[in-house]
Chain A
Amino acid sequence: EVQLLESGGGLVQPGGSLRLSCAASGFTFSSYAMSWVRQAPGKGLEWVSSISGSGGNSYYADSVKGRFTISRDNSRNVLYLQMNSLRAEDTAVYSCARTVRGAISGVNWFDPWGQGTLVTVSS
């Protein structure tokens, strides 16, 4: 069974840093791109970042570019999100998701998603 389990969330002051982890199991981790998505309390979904299976390519939303860094350890099957210079507007549940690419269509989709970890930025 494919499973994704996030950890590392918590309360942090504005300007602080936090590193989130996503432990993956049940599939060949290095064969899949992975993504982070966040959801502020009572709000919709916001894509944050994605990284290729090898880790060689990464992409970011403008709202986090220059402050967040996505990475992965394929030997340990773990995805990371290093978050620096945190702001109040970064408060959200952060979820990781496996990015699946259709073999024939080349179309991507996110499946499955982890339950998420809550990050609260407040003084």
Chain B
Amino acid sequence: DIQLTQSPSFLSASVGDRVTITCRASQGISSYLAWYQQKPGEAPKLLIYAASTLQRGAPSRFSGSGSGTEFTLTISSLQPEDFATYYCQQLNSYPYTFGQGTKLEI
């Protein structure tokens, strides 16, 4: 199985900050990676697919990059509504594993 390790697990930041979350895969997954945002009590929401493609409707301050085993999600200027938990997911092969999550806090 492909393991995904996100870092950091917790991130404290302020409105206006630029933040980066890293997701490392235990083996190469090409660009078969998605990023989701989840707020308490809500369903996860797709932000990025194919490692770097912004989902329609997602704010342009979100961007994704990487290929192979190392990926990043960057928020260029944090807004109050961005404080949430972020997950990466590999869809290269079954089982479709998720990273453990990164909780972004004020």
Q: What residues of chain A have their CB less than 8 Å away from a CB belonging to chain B?
A: 35, 44-47, 50, 59-62, 95, 100, 102, 105, 107-116
B91 A95 Cβ-Cβ under 8 A: no
Residues in chain A near residue B97, CB distance under 8 A = 47
Residues in chain A near residue B36, CB distance under 8 A = 45, 110
- Which residue of the partner chain, among A44, A47, A100, A114, contacts B95 with CB atoms under 8 Å? A47
- What total of A-B pairs shows CB separation below 8 Å? 65
Considering the chains assembled together, what is the distance between the CA atoms of A50 and B94 in angstroms? Answer: 9
A102 B98 Cβ-Cβ under 8 A: no
Minimal Cβ-Cβ distance residue in A for B44? A113
CB distance from A53 to the nearest CB of B (A): 16
A112 B32 Cβ-Cβ under 8 A: no
- Which residue of the partner chain, among A47, A100, A102, A113, contacts B43 with CB atoms under 8 Å? A113
A110 B95 Cβ-Cβ under 8 A: no
A115 B43 Cβ-Cβ under 8 A: yes
CB of B96 closer than 8 Å to a CB of A: yes
- Which residue of the partner chain, among A44, A62, A102, A112, contacts B49 with CB atoms under 8 Å? A102
Given A110-B34, A114-B43: A105 in contact with B50 (beta carbons within 8 A): yes
B50 A45 Cβ-Cβ under 8 A: no
| Residue from B46, B95, B97 with most neighbouring chain A CB atoms (10 Å) | B95
CB distance from A108 to the nearest CB of B (A): 4
Not counting A107-B50, A109-B34, A114-B43, a sample of 18 additional A-B residue pairs whose C-beta atoms are within 8 angstroms of each other reads: A44-B98, A44-B101, A45-B38, A46-B98, A60-B95, A61-B95, A100-B49, A105-B31, A105-B50, A107-B31, A108-B32, A109-B50, A109-B89, A110-B34, A110-B46, A110-B89, A112-B46, A116-B43
